[in-house]
């Protein structure tokens, strides 16, 4: 099961034994009283209020503390009442209760028409003392105490929300005084001070952790979502307003998280408004809404991503349409994800941080979507990563199962599921070494099975994103989280429509945490968020330009600064410990890669400076160096894991033997790493190309090796070519290999390494190259006439004599093909030509 549930509270486990020990549980043993014990509310401190019927049908109220695992009896009514709502203040001195006194039939039969149908009471319970009537009305009411922030002493004042089915919400201010013997009594002798919080609402949800009230007000065919924030040291203020295209036909007030009415949950109206508002720590604000579809084999639900400015409506074709199974969709807040769950049908994990592409959300059906502990339908999500099953009276901590996610990643046959599972593993679980190792192993086995994305690119970019973004606020809006620009795939059985919606209006001052982050997200949307992410278009162009100009222009101050950036990055990389050096990556000079490193540092720094000026230059410098160094470390981490998995040792870099099957597998993975890096213009660790070429020499036949070199898959490096020329003897096969490599060396590299190979073939190549370059230098000079009679050399071989005379004349005029010729000159050319000619004629040269 993808969602892992741990029971933090269960009535049968945590309450019934305590009731039985006190003789209060006898009435719970009969099946007709199965609803006699049920959860009424969950407070901000996690304490759970429940009610049960005693032996004489008295109505009791109890409190369970999950921290101490202790139960506490709060109050008892000497009547059989149906508790609708209940809340206790933070100090457990006051209890607010609302209940239904009589049904309509009972009032008629007992001639009690003048007696109110519903009653809301405020009771002093420390000690049990006075009872105050808050409301005596014919419409239902809900009660909820406000809770102060942790550590703030508010023992002399409590505030209470009262929600009426007549569609208004009031706040009561209750002051208490401490008398002798630790008694606490309500100070106000008359009416309690009250303030109207909201009017004309049709739906409301209480956010107990953040002390926020979301409510909906109808407006023509649309609705307006509002939010009131309650402050610990102030009163309250309206802070958000958002116009949503949600039509509400039901006139009955719908409440969420204002307690849990067991009887009401058993009779959910099939077309009632199923609406939830979820927030995330990163400033996400989602409105989740579903109504039963008129089509029996389909269900539709919408997610309004208010922090992104658009709405996605999903229509799901159901596999089984038994009427008794089709209840409303349950929405569960997992912080980074929202889960839409229809038992027996599907589980849809929606990525609320990056909801733009469907491939970042995970849609599961059948056995993969099963959640054993949630087979009932009275499911609530009162807290982040918490599920309350009102029917059986259990509260669970819910999380995504790492093992189930890896199982799904390894066994899924669809790219959309693979990509969603990969992102979930990297971004939801953050960085764990074991998880990272298993993902790398999966990548190494599935390089050819993923068609719509490159798993190496996604692993590197998503890992960098989750490692770097927690460091600095708003950094998540500036760094890329994926290599994909779009995704045109489909999810079988699901259609999705996206609509632009108006951004919510915020009115706040000096707010922190969520509201500040939400406002930052909205500002990003206003300024076209996709354009804020760093991309490599300019980097690739400048890298190519500077690479081509290397031979033509001297090193400038700009280039010196670029290479200084690279040096700083490599100083971070040098912290690899000895165990990590299992892979024989050489700390060598690599002009191209160091140039790319330095350019990435410079351009990423400029990008962040444009948007994060308030962070400061020193901090941005550190962020950028960490980013590029982490990039290199991730490539090295991939190499280390595949190296270890294929049982390769650290001394494998030699050419005396052919490569093993494990080496060939590693070579293939390195080729894919190179392809991924080239696709996103990412630098590679020093020595990557050397090791890659070395494995290619060991594993590939010559024609394939040369094909890879000619097509840029393998890069000739000085370290590898030198070792190749020095270590291999001059057998016919090795001569062919060396000759093929030497012929393909770039001029600058060839000048450095050709002299290592003491062989006639190489001497011929060097002589030919020397003559060619010398004559090319002569093209723009004045034509020179040569007189053979002036030559001091013998005339037995006239073509060679003429060539040497011409080259000598050119050398005497100061024309040099290179600033540094080493030992190559006209004499060298003459000797090489004679040796080669004698060899071709089968003669011995002396």
Q: What is the DSSP string of 82-107?
A: EEEEEEE-TTS-EEEEEEE---HHHH
H or E segment and range at residue 416: helix 415-428
Residue 306: pLDDT band by 50, 70, 90 thresholds?
Answer: very high
Q: How far apart are CA 719 and CA 690, in angstroms?
A: 7
Residues 6+ apart with CB under 8 A from 568: 601, 625
Higher pLDDT: 843 or 634? It is 634
Residue 589: pLDDT band by 50, 70, 90 thresholds?
Answer: confident
Question: What's the pTM?
Answer: 0.84
Q: How far apart are CA 631 and CA 597, in angstroms?
A: 10
Tell me the per-residue pLDDT of 344-363, one tens digit each, with 9 for 90 and over.
889 999 999 899 888 889 99
Residue whose pair of structure tokens reads 């071709």 in the numeric block:
840
Residue range 179-197: mean pLDDT, rounded: 80
Predicted confidence at residue 644, as pLDDT, reads: 87
Predicted confidence at residue 49, as pLDDT, reads: 96
Q: How far apart are CA 720 and CA 690, in angstroms?
A: 5
Q: How many CB atoms lie within 10 A of CB 664?
A: 17
Tokens linked to 216: 């909906």
Q: How many CB atoms lie within 10 A of CB 38?
A: 20
Which of 128-137, 405-414, 606-615, 726-735 is least confident?
726-735
Residue 507, burial from CB neighbour count under 10 angstroms (0-12, 13-18, 19+): exposed
Report whether pLDDT(528) > 80.
no
User: In the β-sheet with 236-244, what is the strand arrangement from edge to edge?
Assistant: 254-256, 203-207, 212-219, 222-230, 236-244, 505-506
Report whether pLDDT(842) > 90.
no
Evaluate whether 237 touches 213 at the Cβ level (below 8 Å): no
Predicted confidence at residue 235, as pLDDT, reads: 81
Evaluate whether 592 touches 540 at the Cβ level (below 8 Å): no
Predicted confidence at residue 171, as pLDDT, reads: 95
Q: Checking phi first, is residue 114 left (phi over 0); if not, alpha (psi -120 to 50) or beta?
A: alpha
Q: How far apart are CA 687 and CA 720, in angstroms?
A: 9
Tell me the per-residue pLDDT of 771-827, one tens digit each, with 9 for 90 and over.
665 555 555 555 444 444 444 444 455 455 556 666 676 666 555 555 445 556 666
Evaluate whether 3 touches 333 at the Cβ level (below 8 Å): no
Nearest to 387 by CA among 4, 71, 64: 4
Give the total residue count for the chain. 846
Residue 282, burial from CB neighbour count under 10 angstroms (0-12, 13-18, 19+): middle
Q: How far apart are CA 657 and CA 649, in angstroms?
A: 14
Predicted confidence at residue 581, as pLDDT, reads: 58
Query: How far is residue 487 CA from its own chain's centroid?
Result: 17
Residue range 462-481: mean pLDDT, rounded: 87
Residue 117: pLDDT band by 50, 70, 90 thresholds?
Answer: confident
- The mean of the pLDDT values for the chain is 82
Evaluate whether 398 touches 334 at the Cβ level (below 8 Å): yes
Q: How many CB atoms lie within 10 A of CB 736?
A: 12
Tell me the per-residue pLDDT of 364-392, one tens digit each, with 9 for 90 and over.
998 888 887 776 667 888 889 999 988 88
Extents of the domains making up the chain? 537-712, 716-758, 761-841
Q: How far apart are CA 52 and CA 43, in angstroms?
A: 18
Residue range 336-342: mean pLDDT, rounded: 92
Predicted confidence at residue 318, as pLDDT, reads: 86
Render the burial of 436-451: b for 16+ CB within 10 Å, e for the rest. bebbbbbbbeebeebe
Evaluate whether 436 touches 425 at the Cβ level (below 8 Å): no
Nearest to 46 by CA among 385, 392, 504, 547: 385
Residues 6+ apart with CB under 8 A from 121: 96, 97, 98, 131, 132, 133, 134
Higher pLDDT: 769 or 98? It is 98
DSSP structure class, residue 838 = H
Residue 262: pLDDT band by 50, 70, 90 thresholds?
Answer: low
Give strand pairing partners of 136.
119
The radius of gyration computed from the CA coordinates of the chain, to the nearest angstrom, equals 38
Report whether pLDDT(155) > 70.
no
Q: How far apart are CA 30 and CA 807, in angstroms?
A: 114
Query: How far is residue 67 CA from its own chain's centroid?
Result: 31
Crossing angle for the helix pair 455-468 and 433-445, to the nearest 10 degrees:
160
Tell me the per-residue pLDDT of 797-811, one tens digit each, with 9 for 90 and over.
545 555 666 667 666
Q: How many CB atoms lie within 10 A of CB 432?
A: 11
Helix (H, G, I), strand (E, B) or coil at 247: coil
Helix (H, G, I), strand (E, B) or coil at 718: helix
Report whether pLDDT(252) > 60.
yes
Q: How far apart are CA 686 and CA 590, in angstroms?
A: 7
Of the CA atoms within 13 Å of residue 392, those in its CB half-sphere come to: 16
Predicted confidence at residue 32, as pLDDT, reads: 46
Cis peptide before 143 (omega within 30 of 0): no
């Amino acid at each position: 099961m993808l969602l892992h549930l741990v029971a933090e509270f269960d009535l049968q486990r945590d309450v019934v034994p305590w009731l039985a020990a006190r003789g209060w549980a006898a009435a719970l043993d009969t099946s007709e009283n199965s609803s006699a014990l049920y959860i009424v509310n969950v407070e901000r401190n996690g304490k759970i209020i429940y009610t049960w019927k005693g032996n004489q049908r008295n109505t009791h109220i109890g409190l369970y503390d999950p921290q101490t695992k202790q139960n506490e009896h709060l109050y008892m009514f000497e009547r059989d009442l149906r508790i609708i709502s209940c809340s206790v203040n933070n100090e457990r001195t006051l209890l607010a209760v609302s209940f239904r006194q009589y049904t309509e039939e009972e009032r008629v039969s007992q001639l009690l028409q003048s007696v109110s149908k519903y009653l809301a009471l405020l009771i002093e319970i420390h000690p049990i003392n006075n009872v105050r009537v808050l409301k005596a009305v014919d419409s239902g009411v809900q009660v909820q105490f406000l809770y102060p922030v942790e550590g703030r002493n508010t023992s002399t004042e409590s505030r209470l929300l009262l929600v009426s089915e007549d569609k208004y919400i009031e706040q009561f201010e209750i002051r208490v005084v401490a008398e002798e013997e630790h008694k606490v009594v309500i100070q106000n002798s008359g009416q309690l001070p009250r303030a109207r919080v909201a009017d004309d609402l049709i739906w409301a949800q209480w956010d107990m952790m953040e002390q926020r009230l979301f409510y909906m007000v109808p407006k023509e065919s649309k609705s307006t979502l509002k939010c009131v924030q309650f402050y610990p040291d102030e009163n309250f203020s309206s802070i958000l307003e958002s116009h949503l295209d949600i039509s509400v036909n039901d006139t009955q007030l719908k409440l969420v998280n204002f307690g849990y009415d067991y009887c009401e949950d058993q009779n959910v109206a099939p077309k009632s408004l199923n609406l939830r508002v979820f927030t995330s720590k990163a400033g996400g604000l989602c409105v989740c809404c579903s109504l039963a579809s008129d089509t029996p084999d389909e269900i539709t639900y919408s997610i309004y991503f208010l922090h992104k400015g658009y709405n996605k409506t999903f229509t799901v074709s159901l596999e089984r349409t038994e009427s008794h199974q089709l209840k409303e969709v349950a929405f569960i807040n997992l912080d980074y994800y929202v889960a839409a769950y229809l038992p027996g049908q599907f589980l849809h994990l929606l990525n609320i941080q990056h909801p733009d592409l469907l491939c970042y959300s995970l849609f599961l059906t059948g056995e993969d979507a099963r959640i054993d502990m949630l087979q009932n339908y009275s499911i609530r999500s009162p807290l982040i990563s918490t599920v309350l099953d009102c029917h059986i009276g259990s509260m669970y901590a819910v999380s995504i199962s790492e093992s189930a996610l890896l199982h799904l990643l390894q066994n899924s046959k669809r790219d959309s599921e693979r990509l969603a599972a990969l992102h979930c593993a990297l971004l939801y679980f953050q960085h764990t070494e074991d998880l990272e190792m298993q993902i790398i192993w999966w990548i190494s086995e599935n390089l050819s099975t993923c068609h719509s994305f490159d798993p190496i690119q996604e692993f590197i970019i998503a890992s960098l994103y989750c490692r770097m973004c927690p460091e600095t606020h708003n950094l998540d809006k500036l760094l890329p989280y994926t290599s994909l620009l779009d995704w045109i795939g489909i999810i079988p059985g699901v259609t999705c429509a996206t609509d632009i919606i108006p951004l919510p209006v915020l009115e706040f001052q000096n707010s922190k945490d969520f509201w500040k982050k939400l406002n930052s997200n909205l500002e990003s949307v206003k300024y076209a968020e996709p354009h804020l992410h760093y991309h490599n278009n300019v980097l690739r162009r400048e890298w190519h330009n500077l690479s081509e100009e290397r031979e033509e222009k001297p090193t400038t101050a700009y280039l010196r600064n670029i290479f200084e950036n690279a040096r700083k990055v490599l100083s971070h990389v040098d912290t690899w410990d000895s165990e990590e050096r299992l892979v024989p990556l050489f700390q060598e000079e690599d002009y191209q890669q160091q140039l790319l490193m330095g350019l990435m540092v410079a351009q990423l720094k400029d990008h962040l400076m444009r948007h994060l000026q308030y962070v400061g230059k020193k901090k941005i410098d550190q962020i950028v160096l960490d980013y590029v160094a982490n990039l290199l470390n991730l490539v090295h981490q991939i190499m280390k894991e595949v190296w270890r998995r294929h049982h390769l040792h650290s001394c494998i870099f030699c050419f005396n033997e052919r490569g093993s099957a494990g080496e060939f597998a590693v070579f293939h993975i390195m080729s894919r790493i190179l392809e991924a890096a080239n696709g996103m213009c990412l630098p590679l660790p020093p020595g990557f190309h050397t090791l890659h070429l070395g494995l290619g020499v060991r594993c590939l036949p010559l024609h394939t090796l040369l094909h890879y070199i000619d097509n840029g898959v393998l890069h000739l490096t000085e370290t590898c070519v030198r070792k190749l020329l020095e270590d291999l003897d001059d057998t016919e096969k090795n001569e062919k290999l060396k000759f093929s490599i030497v012929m393909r060396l770039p001029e600058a590299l060839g000048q450095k390494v050709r002299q290592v190979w003491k062989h006639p073939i190489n001497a011929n190549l060097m002589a030919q190259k020397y003559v060619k370059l010398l004559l090319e230098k002569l093209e723009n000079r004045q034509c020179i006439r040569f007189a053979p009679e002036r030559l001091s050399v013998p005339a037995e071989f006239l073509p060679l004599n003429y060539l040497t005379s011409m080259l000598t004349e050119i050398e005497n005029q100061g024309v040099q093909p290179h600033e540094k010729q080493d030992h190559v000159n006209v004499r060298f050319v003459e000797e090489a030509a004679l040796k080669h000619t004698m060899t071709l004629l089968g003669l011995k040269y002396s």
